[in-house]
Amino acid sequence: MKILRKRKIKRLFRKLIRYSNKIFDLFTAVASITDKRIKAQIPTVKIVAAMIIMYFTNQGSLNSLSQEIAFKKLKADIPSVSTIARTADTMDLEEIRAVGLAIYKKARAKKMLKPCYGMWVGVVDGHEQITSAYCKCKYCKKRIVTRKDGVKDTQYYHEFTAFILAGPKISYTLDIEPILPGEGEITSAYRLIERVCKNYPKAFSVVIGDGLYLKETVFNLLEKHHKYAIAVLKEERRQLFEEANRLSLLSKPETYRKKKTYYRVWEHSIKGCWDGYGKGVRVIAAEEATPKRVHSKDGKSFEDRLKQGKLDVGHKSTPFRRSL
Ligand SMILES: [Zn+2]
């Protein structure tokens, strides 16, 4: 059983490599990546290949890659963990981005990537990458965490923002940008959005972010690049939030049902309620309710449990669908 599984993995792995080469010319493309080591003994492409294998085989770290037994034959080809780490530190990021762009272009030309509801949508969000009790580099952010026993520890971690081209089946990460120590997510996202708009000018027309991205700087930047912006409206943006709620009380929602869930959706055009952003926006308020028969507190009857609604804000001309 175990041998069969190993064989199957090997077969799938070979297929994956063949496919990557046939469709994307992957290992030729990554051969263009260089690094700044002096008198390097192992070519950069070998290091990149090792990292690709780490992702293909779903290994969480370089250490687990070097311990993976299913690829014993490959093992001799994989450089040491410290060599991979040291080389990765000095790799040319623009060359790596160029590989990403080349793959994207091929995938798009072959119609592998698909739009969402007829729109090409980018999603930007912050992610935490690693945490460690020891500081390893100048890009580490740090915070104090309280252990179960009450002792306070310093924890080091890395954060980055990612820009993902969202698709119904396949999503593609276009680029990432570190969130540096002392820096907020939006500062990093701003650099990321600028670069993605420059490198992928026609890849998407809408950019979606969470409540953090409801900022005039972000909306203005995207408008400059002729992109629509959508962000979650939270209560902190009080004036806009209250105006949207006020309008919802005054107007009739669109209603529809999808499977067991009922939706009530309002769409408002609001201007002048968002300080610093003079332009009009559209606010979509949605309430969803999935009636679930549960016993009421007295145990004698049933009542329906409801889910809380959510608000989204977009540029005035954002191509929202009412069914969103
Ligand atoms: Zn670090």
Instruction: Please report the pLDDT score of residue 73 as a whole number.
Output: 66
Q: How many domains does the chain have?
A: 3
210 and 244 co-located in one domain: no
Residue 91 and residue 97: Cα distance in Å, rounded?
11
Instruction: Please report the pLDDT score of residue 304 as a whole number.
Output: 57
184 and 247 co-located in one domain: no
Q: How far is the CA of 158 from the centre of ligand 1 (A)?
A: 6
Q: How far is the CA of 242 from the centre of ligand 1 (A)?
A: 42
Residues in the chain, pLDDT under 70: 1-4, 68-75, 293-294, 296, 299-324
Quickly list H helices, 68-215: 72-75, 81-89, 93-109, 185-199
Instruction: Please report the pLDDT score of residue 111 as a whole number.
Output: 95
Q: How far is the CA of 290 from the centre of ligand 1 (A)?
A: 45
Instruction: Please report the pLDDT score of residue 70 as a whole number.
Output: 59
259 and 305 co-located in one domain: yes
Instruction: Please report the pLDDT score of residue 316 as a whole number.
Output: 46
Q: How far is the CA of 76 from the centre of ligand 1 (A)?
A: 29
Task: Using the 3D structure, point to which of 171, 203, 232 is the last residue of a domain.
Answer: 232
Task: Using the 3D structure, point to which of 208, 232, 256 is the last residue of a domain.
Answer: 232
Q: How far is the CA of 254 from the centre of ligand 1 (A)?
A: 49
107 and 91 co-located in one domain: yes
18 and 107 co-located in one domain: yes
Residue 202 and residue 258: Cα distance in Å, rounded?
33
Task: Using the 3D structure, point to which of 112, 129, 159 is the last residue of a domain.
Answer: 112
Tell me the per-residue pLDDT of 47-76, one tens digit each, with 9 for 90 and over.
Answer: 998 899 888 888 888 888 877 655 666 667
228 and 120 co-located in one domain: yes
223 and 278 co-located in one domain: no
Instruction: Please report the pLDDT score of residue 323 as a whole number.
Output: 30
Instruction: Please report the pLDDT score of residue 303 as a whole number.
Output: 59
Identify the CATH number of the domain in which residue 169 sits. Answer: 3.30.420
213 and 254 co-located in one domain: no
State the residue for tokens 């762009």: 101
224, 229, 235, 237: CA torsion to nearest 10? 10
Instruction: Please report the pLDDT score of residue 254 as a whole number.
Output: 95
Full domain range(s) for residue 169: 115-232
